Structure 1
Amino acid sequence: MAEIFINYRTGDGDRTAAAIERELAHRFGEDKVFRASRSIRPGERFPQRLVEAVRRSTVVLTVAGASWSRSRKLHDEDDWVRREIVEALACGIPVIPVLDGRDVQRFSTDDLPPELADLAEVQSLRFDVHNGNADFTRIGDELAQLVPSLRAADRTAPRRPAHEAGVANTMGDVHGPGTQGRDFTGDVGTVIKNPSGNVHTGTGDINAQRYSGNHYSGNSQHSAGDGAINVSGDISGGIGQHFGGPRRRPEDEDEQ
């Protein structure tokens, strides 16, 4: 469903409406934004399509240029810009004016027909081509705050910090540096017991459920002894490495 309906008049704000639609579609998804010249397909009945799209939307952006509020067309009941706004107001859908240009003034009740007079009391947004990126961002931010489904679909939302994403690490008796890699997907629980040397983890899921005595259970990565060992699967018994020269075997003692 298109949450955002973009209302505009050809020749007075239509280019800005197209730019806003493009930016919002990139941020929230094309299916979240309705603009008549793009969203109505050849062969569709545009009066019915427009009314349905307004009724199903969650917010209407009215892009208004310098002469928008003074246009006599707004007083014509058959004017589609007017009809879309009247329909939205009748359905209780918020209508947010987007003033197209730094010199465009807020609406005045003296310029608007009575059916649209409420727009003069509505807080507006502004788009200035000289401040385009910042204004695009602000419009998107305001919509994300207003509409929960847009907030959930926001492709620019920051990733959650690791401590909020279920990442937990435990390191005990570590001699030397221990390093956790970044960009894990899924829950991560890393248990490292008595390693001597460097410990590095990569990208992926790492799960360690329990360590009891000499027994590790679960799919795990463990490091122990003088070096590093990576093990996947269940492990029973001790795991160790020795560095610094070969160990003597018992039979070697008898030979001396």
Structure 2
Amino acid sequence: MPEIFINYRTGDGEQAAATLDNALRARFGDGHVYRASRSIAPGDAFDHDLVNNVRRSSVLLALIGDHWLDKPTLGHDDDWVTKEILEAFRHDIRIIPVLIGRRTERPAKRDLPDALLWLTDCQTLRYDHQTDERDLKHIGDQLADLVPALADADRTTTEPEAPAATDNSTGDLKNSYATQTGPVTGSTFHIGPAESRHSNHTVHQTGTGSNYVAGDSHGGIRQGFGATPPAEGGE
């Protein structure tokens, strides 16, 4: 279902509409965004398709550029930009004016037909091509916050990264001990040569990783980790 309906006027906001369409589909999926010039299949009755998809949407983005008010048919029954906005309004669908460019201002009530006067009270968003990456992210974030279905479909949501494996190393130690706790993968740690008159030591190594210890080790060194490997010939 197209949760987002992009409403725009040809000759005023079609380029911004295409950019928003591509960015929002990349984030939420093709099925969640409707833009007439892409979404209406050849041979379909466009009037029925437009009205039906406005009613099915959760939010209508009304793109307003510098020349949006210049259309003499604004507010008339045969103006499709007006029809789509009023259809969304009658069905209690959220309408968000999106101001295109840095200089576009919210339409003043004195410039709007009576049927659209309420549009000046709607909180707006802004899209400018010079800050498109930031603006597109902000618009997408706002939509994800407002529409649960879009939050569920949001492809920018990522799982937290697993903690990195521990990789420690020590320098030369003299008559000292080295201890490590925490998850260990691969080889563990290496203790450099210990300066000692005693050369008797024992190294006992087991487990699925590798370990090297050198230096004075009275009584031997034992370390085990991981599962016990099967005996030779086992499966």
Q: TM-score if structure 1 supplies the norm length?
A: 0.66
Cα deviation 1:196-219 (Å, max 9, x = unaligned)? 88887xxxxxxxxxxxxxxxxxxx
- In structure 1, give the amino acid aligned to 2:87: E
5+ residue gaps, structure 1? 164-174, 182-195, 201-224, 231-238, 242-256
Structure 1 residues 132 and 240: alpha-carbon distance in aligned structure 2, compared to 1, 3 A threshold: closer
Q: Which residue of 2 aligns with 1:138?
A: 138
Map 1:8-157; keep pairs closer than 5 Å: 8-157=8-157
* 3-state SS of 2:223 partner: coil
Q: Which residue of 1 aligns with 2:183?
A: 179
Runs of 4+ in 1 over 6 A off after TM superposition: 196-200
Structure 1 residues 101 and 180: alpha-carbon distance in aligned structure 2, compared to 1, 3 A threshold: farther
Match of 1:229 among 222, 226, 229: 226
Once the two structures are TM-superposed, the CA of residue 180 in structure 1 deviates from its matched residue by 5.9
* Distance in 2 separating the partners of 1:98 and 1:178: 51
Q: TM-score if structure 2 supplies the norm length?
A: 0.72
Cα deviation 1:5-56 (Å, max 9, x = unaligned)? 0000111010000000100000000100000000000011100000000000
Once the two structures are TM-superposed, the CA of residue 109 in structure 1 deviates from its matched residue by 1.0
Q: Check whether the contact 2:208–2:226 (CA below 8 A) recurs between aligned residues.
A: no
- In structure 1, give the amino acid aligned to 2:223: D
Structure 1 residues 176 and 24: alpha-carbon distance in aligned structure 2, compared to 1, 3 A threshold: same
- In structure 2, give the amino acid aligned to 1:227: G
Once the two structures are TM-superposed, the CA of residue 228 in structure 1 deviates from its matched residue by 3.2
Cα deviation 1:90-138 (Å, max 9, x = unaligned)? 0010111111110001111111111111111111011111111000001
* 3-state SS of 1:176 partner: coil
- The RMSD of aligned alpha carbons is 2.5
Q: Check whether the contact 2:75–2:115 (CA below 8 A) recurs between aligned residues.
A: no
> How many residue pairs end up in the alignment?
185
